[in-house]
Amino acid sequence: MTNSAGTGREKVQQMLDWTVAEVDVPGIVAEVRDGHGSWFGSAGVADIETGRPRQQGEHVHIGSAAKSFTAAAVLHLEAEGRLSLEDPVEKWLPGVLNNVNGYDGTKITIRHLLNNTSGLFITGLAPELSQRYATRSAFAEHRFDSWTKDELLKLTVSQPPVGEPGEAFAYSNGGFYLAGMIIEEVTGNSYEDEVARSIVHPLGLTHTYVRPADDTGFPAPYPRAYSGLFMKEGVAPGDITAENWESMYEEPGLPLLDTTEYNSSWAWSAGNAVSTTSEMIQVFRAFASGSLLPPAQHRAMWTMVSTEGGHWMPHATYGLGVFELDPAVTGGLPLRGMGGSMQGSHFVVVGTPDGEQVIAVHTNTEFKTWKVMFKAIEAQFGIPPVEGL
Question: How high is the mean pLDDT in each 10-residue block of the chain (389 residues)?
Answer: 55 98 96 96 98 98 98 98 98 93 96 98 89 91 97 96 96 98 98 98 98 97 94 76 77 88 98 98 98 98 94 94 96 97 96 98 96 96 87
Transcribe 112-148 into DSSP letters: HHHTT-S----GGG-HHHHHHHSSHHHHHHHTT----
At residue 39, what are phi and psi to the nearest 5 degrees? -150, 145
Residue 293: its pLDDT value, please?
Answer: 98
Closest CA to 225 of 61, 41, 76, 57: 61
Closest CA to 28 of 15, 39, 37, 38: 15
Is the CB of residue 296 less than 8 Å from the CB of residue 303?
Answer: no
Residue 71: its pLDDT value, please?
Answer: 98
Neighbours of 219 (CB within 10 A): 10
Spatial distance between the Cα atoms of 113 and 173, rounded to a whole number of angstroms: 9
Closest CA to 211 of 260, 272, 275, 148: 272
Residue 250: its pLDDT value, please?
Answer: 82
Pick the CATH number of 9-381 from 3.40.50.740, 3.40.710.10, 3.30.70.600, 1.10.3720.10: 3.40.710.10
Residue 7: its pLDDT value, please?
Answer: 60
Residue 130: its pLDDT value, please?
Answer: 84
Residue 152: its pLDDT value, please?
Answer: 97
